[in-house]
Amino acid sequence: MWGIRLIDIMADDPVILIKPIDDRSLQDAAMLYNSGNDIRYATGMDGFVPISEVKSRLGYTGSEDKSFASGIYLKSVRGGDGKTDISFAGMVSGTVLGHVLWIRQLSILPACRRKGTGSRAVQLVIGCLRQELQISEVYVSVLGENIPGLRFWEKLGFAEINRVEKELFSDNQKYNVIIMRKTLQ
By three-state DSSP, how is residue 62 classified? coil
What would the pLDDT profile of 24-82 be if each residue is shown by its tens digit? Answer: 777 777 767 666 555 555 555 556 666 666 666 665 444 445 888 899 999 987 766 77
pLDDT exceeds 60 at position 167: yes
What is the mean predicted confidence (pLDDT) over 104-130?
92
Residue 3 lies in a domain: no
Contacting residues for 1 by C-beta, under 8 A, at least 6 apart: 20, 22, 23
Would you say residue 6 lies in a domain? no
Residue 145 domain flag: yes
The CATH number of the domain holding residue 69 is: 3.40.630.30
Predicted pLDDT of residue 42: 53
Expressed as residue numbers, the domain containing 53 is 11-183
How many H-runs (helices) and E-runs (strands) does the chain carry?
A: 5, 8
* Residue 15 falls inside a structural domain: yes
Average pLDDT over residues 147-167: 92
Query: How many structural domains does the chain have?
Result: 1
What predicted TM-score, i.e. pTM, was given to this entire model? Answer: 0.81
The answer to the question of residue 5 being in a domain is: no
Residue 142, domain member (yes or no): yes
